[in-house]
C-alpha cells in the first residue's frame, strides 16, 4: 500500500478515538533477476506514544480494505513496550 485516502484516515481516527497517530513508510528490498531489485513498500502507523492496538479491529474499521500487521514490537527500559503497525 502506497496511498491512503482521507476517508481511511478519518476511520483510523474514529477507531483510535483520537487524532494522536502518525503515518510513516517502510519497505523491503526483494531480489529480482541479476542486477534487478525491487522494493515492496508499505505504510506504517504509530498510535500515541507507541501504544498497542487490536489489529483485527482496525482492519474491520477500515472495511477490510487493507491488512494490518505488527511492524515492530520493541522493549525499551525507560518506556516499556513500543509498537508500530504495517498497512498492506
Report the percentage of the chain scoring pLDDT > 90: 69
**Which pLDDT score, from 0 to 100, does residue 1 have?**
59
20/5 Cα distance (integer angstroms): 17
Q: Which of 23-27, 39-43, 69-73 has the highest mean pLDDT?
A: 69-73
Could you read off the pLDDT of 40-67 as tens digits, one per residue?
Answer: 888 999 999 999 999 999 999 999 888 9
CA angle 13, 16, 18 (to 5 degrees): 60
Amino acid at each position: 500500500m502506497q496511498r491512503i485516502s482521507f476517508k481511511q484516515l478519518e476511520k483510523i481516527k474514529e477507531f483510535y478515538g483520537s487524532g494522536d497517530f502518525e503515518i510513516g513508510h517502510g519497505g523491503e528490498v526483494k531480489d529480482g533477476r541479476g542486477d534487478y531489485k525491487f522494493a515492496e513498500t508499505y505504510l506504517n502507523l504509530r498510535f500515541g506514544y507507541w501504544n498497542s492496538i487490536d489489529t483485527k479491529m482496525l482492519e474491520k474499521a477500515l472495511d477490510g480494505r487493507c491488512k494490518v500487521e505488527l511492524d515492530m514490537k520493541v522493549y525499551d527500559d525507560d518506556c516499556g513496550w513500543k509498537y508500530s503497525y504495517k498497512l498492506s
